[in-house]
Amino acid sequence: MTDPVVSDRIMRDITDHPVVLYMKGTPVFPQCGFSAAVVQILTHMGVKFKGIDVLADPALRQGVKDFSSWPTIPQLYVKGEFVGGCDIVREMFESGELKDLLQTKGVSTRAA
């Protein structure tokens, strides 16, 4: 069960920001290789995103897992929708699907 206070906060975060990454550590200092990999992909694509450090908040760390029924961090949200964790983001990046998704959702990526 998601704590309603925490899930409200997640809803607000993913509504207020077009691209949100729940991660371990910060975009500048990721604390986990999987989080670092997603940061690297987004940075490489020139996507502006809000990184939220779940290590700073144990309730959020559990809450975001409950929210998405997804057991691991990182978690990427685009326009309020859960896109996936590290494996899915990487697969989508490699196939070009991530760029398509971002463009469809109106998120700007760096011009190739």
Dist CA 71 CA 9 (whole Å): 19
**What residues contact residue 97 under an 8 Å CB cut-off, 6+ apart?**
91
For the segment 68-97, give every residue that binds another protein (CB under 8 A).
69-72, 82-88, 91-92
106 binds another protein (CB under 8 A): no
- 18 versus 85: smaller Cβ distance to another protein: 85
- 100 versus 108: smaller Cβ distance to another protein: 100
Binding-site ranges for another protein (CB under 8 A): 34, 65, 69-72, 82-88, 91-92
